[in-house]
Amino acid sequence: MFKDIFQKKQKKKYIVVPQNQEQTRKEIPDGIVIKCKKCQHILYTKDLEKNLKVCTQCQYHYPLSARERIGSLVDEGTFVEFDAEMTSSNPLSFPEYEEKIASDQKKTNLQDAIITGKGMIESYPVVIGVMDPSFRMGSMGSVVGEKITRAIEHSLKTKTPFLLFSASGGARMQEGVLSLMQMAKTSAALKKLDKAGLLFISIMTDPTTGGVSASFASLGDINMAEPGALIGFAGRRIIEQTIRQKLPDDFQTSEFLLEHGQLDQVVHRHELKKNLATILQLHQ
Amino acid sequence: MSELEQEKSLQSIKKTISELKTLSETSDIDLSAEIARLEEKAKQLSEDYYKNLSPWQRVQLARHGERPTTLEYIEAIFDDFIELHGDRVFGDDQAIIGGIASLNGQPVTVIGHQKGRNTKENLQRNFGMGHPEGYRKALRLMEQAEKFGRPIVTFINTAGAYPGIEGEKRGQSEAIARNLREMAGLEVPILCFVIGEGGSGGALGIGVGDRIYMLENSYYSVISPEGAAAILWKDSTQAQRAAEAMKITSHDLKELGVIDGIVPEPKGGAHLDKKAQTDFVKGFIEQGLQELTTLSKEELIEQRYEKYKKIGEVIEKENMD
């Protein structure tokens, strides 16, 4: 059929549009159209970007980079980044760690797996941290732990609500037990925030697992998640190996957690800003 | 000398000593001087040997089936132990136990992972791998300790929190996370001892405190050496290599500033002389509590916060915000 030929041709001949620096890393491949990785529907890249990277057909939420997330939520011109230059050392002299960090820095244009700062959401001041799943799978080492802790301390000092978007595979192996201890450090800071009566909203995005799930991400006064996000303590493969049975498809999704009483809300990306603003307003 | 050679030469000297002893008993030759000389040499060799155990050898000792368990420490160190059960929500997790007891007449709350001694016990104890209800029971008992102004002693010995369906449904992450946050704010002294395996979040879930001690041959790690090897090199047989790279021994953690002290072990491991081992631990508890007793509640919590705040290593460039 003529139609088939046309489609094939189009597939082969992608036109590469120039990308700005924030989009150098591609969850969504370069091109005018892409096939949704969930529902296989063909989408215009432009439409997808306009739709906050949510598939217009199946509502699959593509991962957002930390900068995209901040851009989509924080009032224009209000964001001030904290600790922008902080980077990882190699405290255990772990083989190939420095190379991996350097390569991800180049690939993502980030220093590490999180951006923290302050800004306004619908004119409400917030301190905000946003993890980026494309940097070492969003894993938490000393830099992530320290930046979160400092952000919480800033929130405490300025009596401002704290928001954290998690997207992480867990603790960063290459920093060993130092990564594990970041769980205790960030949680201890959250205890101070809690005692001071300040609001902490945790927003879990795909994926929020392991040590991040078992520390700050679960400690919000309100814990919410984006639809379809993978959220859990142990990895799926580990559980399957341990119990020797296959897990259902929806296991460890946002919806599964909501059903089991582990989340306050599952919120569509389009509703997120409004939802956050309402919560902030109710805590003024 | 390599580890293996060391061990071989130690074995051969021990054999010679026993031969000489038999010989001196069955004949009239006086070999006592020679025996004493060899025994001295054996002692030196074995000290060198145990001082230089590899991380992987220590992991094996930490997992040793005969290693003293939490209940054995409790029995040897405290009096009047009464075990308290249940999280008041779901059930009683036998992998994490707790209760009240007295230490030289002072009331304390004691909590720990409990491993079994044999297969039957291990099934009952789930190999010391806790579920959410175990962590919630621990928190309930810790809050109770705070109410009555009792110090808390925890014994950590788990490969990790149990990775299973039920745990996920009941909020394994939330249970551990909550413990981390609440332990940071408890207004009573908390002493934590890693007595065997310090397996990741499951260990940390009862491991936030004012003093963290590790037994010499225990390990504390963000992921099991086997797990790390499987992820890093797609090969779980590389566990030995991972154990070295991840710096998981008591000496490593002391150097990294994560722990406050190393409890010595009898030569060859805690299981070889339980009396000596429990005495060592008791000494550390007494010392730790004495150090903390002069602090006000505010000082206690602030020092605990600062202790964790310092952990980690980052590079900061100049001229930043």
Beta carbons of A214 and B176 less than 8 Å apart: yes
Q: Are A252 and B168 in contact (CB under 8 A)?
A: yes
Q: Are B315 and A88 in contact (CB under 8 A)?
A: yes
**Nearest CA of chain A to the CA of B207: how many Å?**
9
Q: Which residues of B touch A251 (CB under 8 A)?
A: 165, 168
Beta carbons of A260 and B169 less than 8 Å apart: yes
Beta carbons of B200 and A247 less than 8 Å apart: no
Closest partner residue to A142 among B170, B312, B321, by Cβ?
B312
Q: Is the pLDDT of residue A23 over 90?
A: no
pLDDT of residue B42: 82
Q: Are B98 and B82 in contact (CB under 8 A)?
A: no
Tokens 């230089």 -> residue: B52
Q: Which residues of A touch B182 (CB under 8 A)?
A: 191
Q: Which residues of B touch A83 (CB under 8 A)?
A: 316, 320-321
Fold for the domain defined by A64-282:
2-enoyl-CoA Hydratase; Chain A, domain 1 (3.90.226)
Tell me if ipTM is over 0.95.
no
Q: Which residue of B has its CA nearest to A251?
A: B165
Q: Which residues of A touch B222 (CB under 8 A)?
A: 171-173, 175-177, 179-180, 211
Q: Is the pLDDT of residue A232 over 90?
A: yes
B145 burial type by CB count under 10 A (0-12 exposed, 13-18 middle, 19+ buried): buried
* Beta pairing, strands A80-82 & A114-121: antiparallel
A215 burial type by CB count under 10 A (0-12 exposed, 13-18 middle, 19+ buried): buried
Closest partner residue to B221 among A83, A176, A192, by Cβ?
A176
Q: What is the pLDDT along chain B (321 residues), one digit of tens a residue?
A: 555 566 677 788 888 888 888 888 888 788 888 888 988 888 887 777 777 899 999 999 999 999 999 999 999 999 999 999 999 999 999 999 999 999 999 999 999 999 999 999 999 999 999 999 999 999 999 999 999 999 999 999 999 999 999 999 999 999 999 999 999 999 999 999 999 999 999 999 999 999 999 999 999 999 999 989 988 888 878 999 999 999 999 999 999 999 999 999 998 999 999 999 999 999 999 999 999 999 999 999 999 999 999 999 999 976 544
Beta carbons of A252 and B204 less than 8 Å apart: no
CA–CA dist B99, B80 (Å, integer): 10
Q: Are B156 and B198 in contact (CB under 8 A)?
A: yes
Closest partner residue to A177 among B174, B231, B258, by Cβ?
B258
CA–CA dist B154, B168 (Å, integer): 24
Q: Is the pLDDT of residue A283 over 90?
A: yes
State the sign of the Cα–Cα–Cα–Cα dihedral B60, B61, B62, B67: positive
Beta carbons of B181 and A191 less than 8 Å apart: yes
| Residue boundaries of the structural domains of chain A | 30-62, 64-282
More reliable by pLDDT, A37 or B278: B278
pTM of the model: 0.89
Q: What is the DSSP string of B96-135?
A: EEEEEEEETTEEEEEEEE---SSHHHHHHHGGG---HHHH
